[in-house]
Every structure is written in C-alpha cells, then in structure tokens.
Amino acid sequence: MLVCRSIAEIRSAVRDFRAAGQTVGLVPTMGALHDGHLSLVAAAKAAKDAVVATIFVNPTQFGNPDDLLKYPRTEQEDLAKLEAAGVAAVFMPPVHEMYPEGAETIVETTQLANMLHGLVRPGHYRGVCTIVTKLFNIVMADNAYFGEKDYQQLQVIRRMALDLNVPTAVHGVPTVREADGLAMSSRNVRLSPEDRAASIVLNASLTRAEEVAAGGGTIEQIDAAIRDTINAEPRARLTGVDIVQAFTLQPVTGRPSGTIGIMISAEFGPEDNTVLLIDQREITL
Ligand code: PAF
C-alpha cells in the first residue's frame, strides 16, 4: 500500500492504477477508522476499484477549535487497518498541502447545508463540501463512497456533485452497527462506560419510529415515539429529531408515504466534555 503525503504523489499513483486498466474508488475519511469506514473500502473493492483512502482531519468543518483538537488521531492503527482491507493507496496530506497560504475559495450548497444539522453547526457542510471537492479534483476517481450515517452530509455531497458536474459517481453505504445497535463512530471511544451503555437508546428510538411508521402513524406520532424513547434515558440529552423527504431533506407532514429519512442527535457526558452522537434511518413506506 502506497502512503502519499503530497498531491503530486497521489496523482502519480492514480495515473499508475489507470494505466494498469483499473477503475479508481475514493474513500474519504478523517481517520480514527472503525468497521464503518472499512465497509466503505469493502464497497469499493466489491466494485473492483483500486481503492484510494484519504485520511485528513479537515479543520474547515469544525466550528469549535476544541472539537478539532480532541478529534482522535490514530495514524499507525489506521494505516494497518487500510492495508489489511486491501487499500491500494492512502493520501494523508498535511494541512498546508490542502489549504496553502492564501486559500480563499469555498464550495457550499446554499440550501441543504443551511438547514437541520447545518443550523446547529454553521459552516460545517461548507467545510465538508470544500474539502470533498478538493479530494474529487485531486484523485479524479470513478467512484466515491460515503456512509449513510451522516444522512445530511450524503445528500449535500450528492447535490454538490450533481450541481458541479463532478464526473465521480457518489455512492451511499449503509450504516455499520455494534452488536447492540449503536452506530459505529469515531466519537464512541469518548463515551464513559455508563454513557456507552445508555447510547443504544438512539437505535432503539429509530426502531420504535419504524414500527410506528409501518403501523400507519403520522409524523407527529413518529416524532413522539422517538422523543419518548430518548427522553426516558436520563443520560441522553436529545438535541434533534428531523423527519424529512429522502434526498431533498424537505419536511414531511401528515401520514408519510414513499421514502423518508429520520435523523436524530443526542449529547452524552458532562457539559465540559460532551459527546454528540448522530444516527439515521431511511424508511420506505
Ligand atoms: O465524513 C467524514 O469523515 C468527513 O466529513 C469527510 C467526508 C471525510 C470530509 O472531511
């Protein structure tokens, strides 16, 4: 597995994969890899792509400098996992390679980035779109793979790629869960054992929501099922429930039909060391 730290090196590696007749699959990550990330690599391998994974903790998508500092960095373990998963090349640039002195251009989806989760994290999806556009332009992959867990991020990236005529095909990959149902996330390691046990309430609330929806429930009833389940767990502080149309993220009212997305978020832990977890489920009725 090649480890490239400069744009020139990764471009040269991609040229070699193409010269050997391979398609290229991009798996962008911020490191601290878990099985969720490895499922993106597996999807790329299943498509027979030469897999280019990127590890870059992107400063422009963090509103809070403390969050950026606390973001787990596990470079050696990450490289070992990617190599074992059959990745062909890893691009892990330093910050100045991605944002050289004087960089001022941003990429933003004007609506999808500034609603729902984007309202609590202003600028977050602008940072994501900017870095993902740069990675698309650097790697020029045939395919790129993103987790469905950050449901809004996936829709933002799909929209951006469509609007900017990005030739790379964007693929969503289903959320990978721990045995007890907690969605895998790099943040899970920051949970105390008690909060880790309590965090299964997120997935439990989505299962409850799905039951209510399948039983013909209204949006109000689905919303109440989620809130009641999470509020019954004293260690969880519910911060968001959004029930939206798939792809457009527009609100849904009444008795839903077609495909809806449910996005939830909750905080765990003390005020000075809060861990924000998100989860999501897409339901077709
Ligand atoms: O989902 C992530 O890990 C990041 O937002 C991404 C897509 C790698 C951009 O930094």
SS3 of 119-146: HHCCCHHHHHHHHHHHHHHHHCCCEEEE
Question: Which residue has its alpha carbon closest to ligand 1 atom 2?
Answer: 29
CA pair distance 155, 261, nearest whole angstrom: 11
Render 78-110 in DSSP notation, one character per residue: HHHHHHHTT-SEEE---HHHHS-TT-------T
6 is in an annotated binding site: no
Helix axis angle for 75-84 and 35-46, nearest 10°, is: 30
Residues 160 and 195 in one domain: no
pLDDT given at position 117: 85
Residues 91 and 20 in one domain: yes
Number of structural domains the chain divides into = 2
Does 285 reside within a domain? Answer: no
Residue type, 283: I
For residue 129, how far is its CA from the centre of ligand 1 (angstroms)?
9
Contact 235, 193 (CB under 8 A): no
**Token pair belonging to 199:** 């965090």
Residue 117 designated active-site: no
153 is in an annotated binding site: yes
Q: Which atom of ligand 1 is nearest to the CA of 150?
A: 1
CA distances to 31, 70, 76, 135 from 58, in Å: 10, 13, 18, 11
Contact 226, 209 (CB under 8 A): yes
Residues 20 and 75 in one domain: yes
Residues 134 and 230 in one domain: no
For residue 15, how far is its CA from the centre of ligand 1 (angstroms)?
24
pLDDT given at position 186: 81
Q: Which of 122, 152, 173 is the last residue of a domain?
A: 173
- Choose the catalytic residue: 37, 96, 124, 171: 37
61 is in an annotated binding site: yes
258 is in an annotated binding site: no
CATH code for the domain of 275: 3.30.1300.10
- Which of 27, 52, 61 to mutate to test ligand 1, by most ligand atoms within 8 A of the CB atom? 61
Does 181 reside within a domain? Answer: no
Contact 14, 49 (CB under 8 A): no
Q: How many CB atoms lie within 10 A of CB 261?
A: 23
* pLDDT tens, the chain, 285 aa long: 999 999 999 999 999 999 999 999 999 999 999 999 999 999 999 999 999 999 999 999 999 999 899 888 999 999 999 999 999 999 999 999 999 999 999 999 999 999 998 988 899 999 999 999 999 999 999 999 999 999 999 999 999 999 999 999 999 999 999 999 999 998 898 999 999 999 999 999 999 999 999 999 999 999 999 999 999 999 999 999 999 999 899 999 999 999 999 999 999 999 999 999 999 999 999
For residue 182, how far is its CA from the centre of ligand 1 (angstroms)?
20
Q: Which of 141, 173, 205 is the last residue of a domain?
A: 173
pLDDT given at position 8: 98
Verify whether ligand 1 is closer than 6 Å to residue 131 (CB atom). yes
CA pair distance 109, 160, nearest whole angstrom: 6
- Residue 106: give the domain boundaries: 2-173
Verify whether ligand 1 is closer than 6 Å to residue 128 (CB atom). yes
pLDDT given at position 120: 84
Contact 260, 243 (CB under 8 A): yes
Question: Which residue has its alpha carbon closest to ligand 1 atom 8?
Answer: 29
CATH code for the domain of 142: 3.40.50.620
Verify whether ligand 1 is closer than 6 Å to residue 185 (CB atom). no
